[in-house]
Chains A and B, each alone.
Chain A
């Protein structure tokens, strides 16, 4: 527990910590309660609740972690008991309990998890709780006859957290199960491979320096025991893959791995039992282990669509306030009809499209348009779902139902786009398909040929198997993963994260780069580029006026004029005029700062001729200064775009902005090809059109207005400060958010792809040499053993050259 005496000692300092949330506040604003201090009633309530429930050891466990103060006012939790909610989120377990998946908000530390679990399990009727600290997802099992879900939610809220349900959709569950399945199989494979290696040391030593037949036999049996679970348990996915392949009449990599390892296994058993020649159990385990790990890495990096959509729907409210018969009722968004009157207060997000009836204020539409300027709306203007009311308390009439509102449309379009994301067929897979079928065919021909030639079944069978064994795709299987691994590690060192290994290959084939303008090519905030002082004035006046505005233009001007000698005057009757500027009174005269429109309303005639945004400053009806502002391109954009163009990649700019500013930015960074005034859907359509012309498109963007285009491109790149959703949709994330890393990601992927091609070539050459020898029956164990490891070494060594080549540059 926190010692009170300690606070007494610290009396001199004016800031103390709240005993619940541990945020620091000045002592005189704190609520004092029997020696404890709290920043608000919420914290005080939670603190007492925890002591009453005997849960106060939470504070000891949390060790001063700062929590969110308990200030939120929650709506009635009774909607959690609604039948519709139960239908959607609550499952019945086999033994008759109810189960729900929740996301718990406000979890900061392991102690928070402890507190929630403990508080819930202490409730009557709660049977089991499991809260995952990593992703804050909770599973709660309770007896519905004893306690209602709303009571459980109330408890979570009472102790200072909030919970909202999520659909533990089959997709996510399936992905988790698949991952776990891989863990198990890999654990077995790695265990067996490591033990196998110790035995192989003895085998190889014995091969060169002599070994008695008996000991070799025992070692072979040991290998047999170890390789059996690897082949049949760890290698099971390959057999399954082969089965599905056969069903659809395709030969895939799985076929080759499965037949190769199975035949090697059978062949080795034969060798072990007859005590002739060399067994290849080690090849069986190695092949299965390596290829399985490669497959697992691929599965691990695959994004789950479910997670993205979780984030999207979290951004949309599920309930809205509706006016029915002059009363305000909370309704689920799906129950709202066209023509209903909906209330929105400041800070809320709009769920349904509509038309404004009463009130006015500014809306943040950046989630749709990407433009950061707030938009002023008054009666008759359209209200768009997904936007946020900044300061507006309004009533509006819905013109669309929830399912047809803009944001729901974007969510469903996104779902579509992500499911149908174009995938370039991977070179290695294509190659291995031909390769696999050729080898199987060759083996069959060898068997038939030898059987007719020698009429010796045993010899023909072993020769045929040795063809498959020698060709078994060790080098081929390693060709792609090793090269991509090296490529990925270089990329991550440069702050470029590829979410899927295969994307390196896709990106290397790209021939078009589509860029968003605001926030991607440009810095996303205007800067003063031109300043014209018409009459000398005290900059402190301008400073005191503008420090009252949060508008990006005001901020830009402030940062332009700022120096330490500035001070704030006391201004009177300050007025923010939406989409015009700001006015105030000082010494009986009017101060005004804003655009040309504002100047006209206060009676100053200005000529606006510039392509840039303009800001005028007037005092007492006299124009004093004029600033021109422009959202400048990033510093490294020009150089990087030139380099990317040199690689033979077309650069196109897609923007929602108007033509003039698009033209200006495009000419500044050297882009000749651009499309302006595009809506989010139009951007996506444009990319689809490029696909139809057989182009491979890389799209880079940062905002929600780009996500549709990002999702429909082959490779989506989110710049580091992009919105969460944009990062979620993207395939590549640039951590240091620069254009040069965009260029690097192109270069690394192209270099890696070149290495993959070389590796495949090398392993094919190896096979072209060894397979004829095997067919002719000349392969002796020594050659097989050496050439197999040699080919793998060659491939690994070659891949390392990506690194060397990169350092030279």
Chain B
């Protein structure tokens, strides 16, 4: 077997693994594991309503920030 095959397979597997690692790091940084109880209960709150709520929440924050910026004008 040519040695480049080993090199290629190794680099691909490390690359794929590191994608998962980066995703995990991102989730830790975003605080997704800060509340273990909520994390475990997340399955209970995982339908359409919750998605809508999350979107609404984000929009609200954005709107509020925008409104704040207008005040100095």
Contact = CB atoms under 8 A, between A and B. Distances in A.
A234 to B, nearest CB: 12
B14 A215 contact: no
Contacts of B49: 57
A96 B36 CA distance: 31
Contact of B28 (A57, A143, A187, A195): A187
A134 B68 contact: no
Contacts of B25: 184, 187-188
B38 A184 contact: no
Contact of A97 (B18, B33, B68): B68
Interface in A404-455: none
B68 A110 contact: no
A118 B53 contact: yes
A113 interface: yes
Contact of B7 (A95, A125, A218): A218
B14 A95 contact: no
B68 A96 contact: yes
A133 B38 contact: yes
Given A127-B64, A180-B29, A183-B28, A134 B36 contact: yes
A132 B25 CA distance: 20
Band of interface residues on B: 20 to 34
Contact of B10 (A113, A114, A199, A212): A199
Interface in A181-230: 183-184, 187-188, 191, 195, 199, 212, 214-215, 217-219, 221-222, 225-226
A449 to B, nearest CB: 40
Contacts of A114: 45
Of A96, A97, A118, A143, most buried by chain B (CB within 10 Å of CB) is A96
Contacts of B64: 97, 125, 127, 143
A134 B65 contact: no
A132 B64 CA distance: 23
A128 B59 CA distance: 11
Contacts of A128: 57, 61
A110 B36 contact: no
A762 to B, nearest CB: 36
Nearest to A183: B28
A183 B41 CA distance: 22
A594 to B, nearest CB: 50
Contacts, number: 81
A219 B71 CA distance: 61
Interface string A100-129: 000000000010011000100100010110
Nearest to B13: A195
B41 to A, nearest CB: 4
Contacts of A121: 53, 56-57, 60
Interface string A214-257: 11011101100110000000000000000000000000000000
B35 interface: yes
B51 interface: no
Contacts of A180: 28-29, 34
- For the residues of A in contact with B, the DSSP-based class is helix
Nearest to B10: A222
A61 interface: yes
A95 B68 contact: yes
Nearest to A137: B35
B35 to A, nearest CB: 5
Nearest to A202: B6
A412 to B, nearest CB: 31
B21 A110 contact: no
B10 to A, nearest CB: 5
A127 to B, nearest CB: 5
A113 B36 CA distance: 13
B16 to A, nearest CB: 11
Contact of A110 (B7, B33, B37): B37
B17 A191 contact: yes
Contacts of A183: 28, 33
Contacts of A143: 64, 67-68
Contact of B21 (A118, A134, A187): A187
A95 B17 CA distance: 38
A225 B7 CA distance: 12
Interface string A126-152: 011000111000000001000000000
14 contacts: A61-B45, A95-B68, A110-B44, A121-B56, A127-B65, A132-B35, A143-B68, A180-B29, A187-B28, A191-B21, A218-B3, A219-B6, A219-B10, A222-B7
Interface of A: 57, 61, 95-97, 110, 113-114, 118, 121, 125, 127-128, 132-134, 143, 176, 180, 183-184, 187-188, 191, 195, 199, 212, 214-215, 217-219, 221-222, 225-226
Given A187-B21, A222-B14, 12 more contacts: A97-B68, A113-B38, A121-B57, A121-B60, A133-B35, A134-B37, A180-B34, A183-B28, A187-B24, A191-B17, A191-B18, A225-B14
Interface of B: 3, 6-7, 10-11, 13-14, 17-18, 21, 24-25, 28-29, 33-38, 41, 44-45, 49, 53, 56-57, 60-61, 64-65, 67-68
